[in-house]
């Protein structure tokens, strides 16, 4: 392994003493705490760290990194543990740095539409803080993830079709590098041509190149008017054709979420809804009252041309929140279809022109699976998700799910897509990166990893694997 120099399960006691001298009782080897920090929301196996250190400042993160490096001990950053591809698993043990106590909102500049926060601030807390300013931060991956974790995984979510992903909405970062140095990338200017774009190198690096401790973000004005609607379709082809036509027409929908009939039934049961059990799109429109009305009318006409019987509108904030909470709870609703089972979530993203083909082929491929396979998607940008609701103790179900997943990814790649639109790589999708990028590009990635982390201590075994 390129990484830890100490034998696995032989964590150096002297390091524990040094960490306690630095941060006192905010370092622990408690088994329950360690287990919780070695597992995210995914199906992938948990790997507990040897110790968990709760940092409260960039300087404390720096000191912890320096101490770990002196002993050749791996370091895994941790936000809220909501990732989906095994990102936080301590594959080689070591120290998990929990950033959740770094939760200060350092600066908000309403006149410049930006803010700087510590990495542990969650998106919901940021938006609660911003509410009285008339601003909001739009990136919404569903879970109440930390801003640092969202930057590290290049998160997106339901609003990405209108507002983009973390890649477009991070202006600058503070990060602790593997050698203990602290760098500040980017700035508050909306554009710059000054040197290499280190901000976007770190955004999406999943803690393998540096530990993000502060983030400067773009903010947006809270829309004057918001309208949400739910529209069932006669079949999946009609629903996806509507999505493609909306995207190609340039209608600026804020959210456009597709769910299939199996997921709709699950959401009805789990969230106490009463929508038609059919392929369904959840829409949301942002803008002026007149602009929202025009957007909704154009979408309604396109949906009707594809056989949609009509919309159910959610006008009040309470109704809208209930609707979108049901969408965010889709993963848990899917698991509830089969009590005692676990969910293996996965995602791909394809060019919008290939979306219908990819979804319909995928549905045909999963139709005879021995377990439920609901489908949801942020389809306005070509991204959709499956959840394999499996019995993890059944080797045959694991085999079938793995084969379906492999075909899904290879189908997306053959259509010019990607193995993951937003979940990230972690260690769950390492095996597909070379097929997507090619061996030469993968070697460039490994060269960057070796240059910035020559001892392989930062989240080893993730993204590029052993280097």
Q: Which of 217, 244, 259, 246 is nearest to 115 (CA)?
A: 217
Query: What pLDDT, on a 0 to 100 scale, did the predictor assign at position 466?
Result: 84
| R_g of the chain computed on alpha carbons | 22
Residue ranges per structural domain of the chain: 13-101, 105-221, 225-331, 333-414
10 pLDDT band, cuts 50/70/90, is confident
What does the pLDDT average to over 344-372?
A: 96
Query: What pLDDT, on a 0 to 100 scale, did the predictor assign at position 1?
Result: 39
* Tens of pLDDT, residues 385-399: 999 999 989 999 999
Whether residue 201 is predicted with pLDDT greater than 70 in this model: the reply is: yes
Any bridge partners for residue 389, and if so which? 343
Select 13-101's CATH number: 3.30.56.10, 3.30.10.20, 3.30.43.10, 3.40.50.300.
Answer: 3.30.43.10
Angle between helices 13-23 and 58-70 (to 10 degrees): 160
Query: What pLDDT, on a 0 to 100 scale, did the predictor assign at position 8?
Result: 57
Query: What pLDDT, on a 0 to 100 scale, did the predictor assign at position 142?
Result: 85
With beta carbons less than 8 A apart as the criterion, state whether 53 and 95 touch.
Answer: yes
Q: In three state form, how does the secondary structure of 11-48 look?
A: CCHHHHHHHHHHHHHHEECCHHHHHHHCCCCCCCCCCC
Residue 208: count other Cβ atoms within 10 Å of its Cβ. Answer: 29
What does the pLDDT average to over 360-365?
A: 97
Distance between CA atoms of 92 and 134, rounded to whole angstroms?
45
- Tokens 């609703």 identify what position? 333
Pairing mode, strands 225-232 and 210-218 = unpaired
* Tens of pLDDT, residues 127-152: 999 999 999 999 999 889 999 999 99
What does the pLDDT average to over 66-74?
A: 97
Any bridge partners for residue 443, and if so which? none
Whether residue 363 is predicted with pLDDT greater than 50 in this model: the reply is: yes
Distance between CA atoms of 27 and 23, rounded to whole angstroms?
7
Query: What pLDDT, on a 0 to 100 scale, did the predictor assign at position 280?
Result: 96
Q: For residue 72, give the H/E element and its range.
A: none
CA angle 6, 8, 9 (to 5 degrees): 110
CATH architecture of the domain covering 105-221: 2-Layer Sandwich (3.30)
Whether residue 465 is predicted with pLDDT greater than 90 in this model: the reply is: no
Whether residue 24 is predicted with pLDDT greater than 50 in this model: the reply is: yes
Query: What pLDDT, on a 0 to 100 scale, did the predictor assign at position 7?
Result: 60
The answer to whether the predicted template modeling score (pTM) of the entire model surpasses 0.75 is: yes
372 pLDDT band, cuts 50/70/90, is very high
Whether residue 9 is predicted with pLDDT greater than 70 in this model: the reply is: no
Residue 416: count other Cβ atoms within 10 Å of its Cβ. Answer: 11
* Tens of pLDDT, residues 169-178: 999 999 999 9
Select 225-331's CATH number: 3.30.1360.20, 3.40.50.2000, 3.30.70.3450, 3.40.190.10.
Answer: 3.30.70.3450
Distance between CA atoms of 232 and 283, rounded to whole angstroms?
11
Query: What pLDDT, on a 0 to 100 scale, did the predictor assign at position 6?
Result: 57
DSSP state of 340: T
Between 98-107, 307-316, 417-426, the lowest mean confidence (pLDDT) is in: 307-316
Q: Would you say the CATH fold of 333-414 matches that of 105-221?
A: no
Mean per-residue pLDDT over the chain, rounded: 95
Query: What pLDDT, on a 0 to 100 scale, did the predictor assign at position 379?
Result: 87
What does the pLDDT average to over 333-346?
A: 94
Distances (CA, A) of 406 to 20, 87, 218, 411, 424: 45, 20, 36, 8, 16
Q: Determine the length of the chain.
A: 467
* Tens of pLDDT, residues 283-338: 999 999 999 999 999 999 999 999 999 899 887 888 888 888 899 899 999 999 99
Select 333-414's CATH number: 3.30.530.20, 3.40.50.720, 3.30.70.60, 3.30.70.2860.
Answer: 3.30.70.60
């Amino acid at each position: 392994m390129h990484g830890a120099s100490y034998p696995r399960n032989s964590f150096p006691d002297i390091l524990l003493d040094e960490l306690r001298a630095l941060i006192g009782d905010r370092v622990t080897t408690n088994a329950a705490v360690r287990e919780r920090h070695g597992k995210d929301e995914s199906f992938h196996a948990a790997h507990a760290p040897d110790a968990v250190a709760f940092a409260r400042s960039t300087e404390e993160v720096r000191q912890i990194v320096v101490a770990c490096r002196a002993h050749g001990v791996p370091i895994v950053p941790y936000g809220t543990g909501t990732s989906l591809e095994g990102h936080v698993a301590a594959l080689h043990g070591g120290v998990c740095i929990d950033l959740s106590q770094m939760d200060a909102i350092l600066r908000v500049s309403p006149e410049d539409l930006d803010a700087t926060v510590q990495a542990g601030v969650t998106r919901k807390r940021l938006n609660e803080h911003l509410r009285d300013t008339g601003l909001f931060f739009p990136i919404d991956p569903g879970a109440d993830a930390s801003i640092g974790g969202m930057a590290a995984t290049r998160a997106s979510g339901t609003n990405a079709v209108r507002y983009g992903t973390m890649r477009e909405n991070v202006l600058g970062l503070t990060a602790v590098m593997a050698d203990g140095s602290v760098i500040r990338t980017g700035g508050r200017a909306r554009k710059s041509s000054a040197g290499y774009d280190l901000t976007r190198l770190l955004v999406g690096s999943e803690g393998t190149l540096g530990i993000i401790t502060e983030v400067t973000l773009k903010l947006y004005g809270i829309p004057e008017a918001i309208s949400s609607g739910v529209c069932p379709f006669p079949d999946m082809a009609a629903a996806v054709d509507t999505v493609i036509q909306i995207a190609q027409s340039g209608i600026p929908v804020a959210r456009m979420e597709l769910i299939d009939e199996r997921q709709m039934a699950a959401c009805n049961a789990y969230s106490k809804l009463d929508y038609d059990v059919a392929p369904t799109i959840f829409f949301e429109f942002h803008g002026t009252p007149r602009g929202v009305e025009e957007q909704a009318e154009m979408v309604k006409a396109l949906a009707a041309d594809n056989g949609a019987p009509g919309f159910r509108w959610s006008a009040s904030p309470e109704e809208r929140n209930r609707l979108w909470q049901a969408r965010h709870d889709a993963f848990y609703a899917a698991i509830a279809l089969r009590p005692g089972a676990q969910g293996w979530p996965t995602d791909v993203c394809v060019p919008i022109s290939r979306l219908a083909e990819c979804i319909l082929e995928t549905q045909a491929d999963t139709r005879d699976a021995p377990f439920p396979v609901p489908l949801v998607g942020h389809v306005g940008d070509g991204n959709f998700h499956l959840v394999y609701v499996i019995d993890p103790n059944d080797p045959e179900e694991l085999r079938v799910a793995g084969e379906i997943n492999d075909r899904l990814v290879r189908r997306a790649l053959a259509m010019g897509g990607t193995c993951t639109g937003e979940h990230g790589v972690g260690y769950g999708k390492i095996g597909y990166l070379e097929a997507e990028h090619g061996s030469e590009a993968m070697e460039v990635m490994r060269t960057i990893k070796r240059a910035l982390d020559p001892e392989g201590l930062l989240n080893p075994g993730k993204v590029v694997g052993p280097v």
